[in-house]
Amino acid sequence: DVKVTQSSRYLVKRTGEKVFLECVQDMDHENMFWYRQDPGLGLRLIYFSYDVKMKEKGDIPEGYSVSREKKERFSLILESASTNQTSMYLCASSWPGVGGYEQYFGPGTRLTVT
């Protein structure tokens, strides 16, 4: 069964802290994605990766970085958390190529920055 897991369902951090959000998929997918989801704004793409050690900026990369050292793991890093990064963070993975390959989503991490 297809599975994408995220390290935490809920996380509370303080302003200025460095935050790591981990995502692991067990489907041998090449593509992995990080989104954030906010009321009224929908799903917005932060970063994505098509291969190990490869990354591409999405629509809102500012304040974030990513790491993909292994195929199954894609990490989102908030170098210095700020209150406007309070959000639901969703990781997804898919097969490669530009065909109709659906994305499989993890359960999400609700991050609160105080």
Contact call for residue 78 and other proteins (CB under 8 A): no
x/- contact string, 94-113, with other proteins (CB under 8 A)? ----xxx-xxxxxxx-----
Cα separation, 17 vs 70, whole angstroms: 25
Residue 80, helix vs strand vs coil: coil
Q: Are 78 and 94 in contact (CB under 8 A)?
A: no
Q: Which is nearer to other proteins, 38 or 79 (CB)?
A: 38
Token digits for 107?
Answer: 């359960």
- Which residue ranges make up the site for other proteins (CB under 8 A)? 33, 35, 40-45, 48, 56, 58-59, 90, 98-100, 102-108
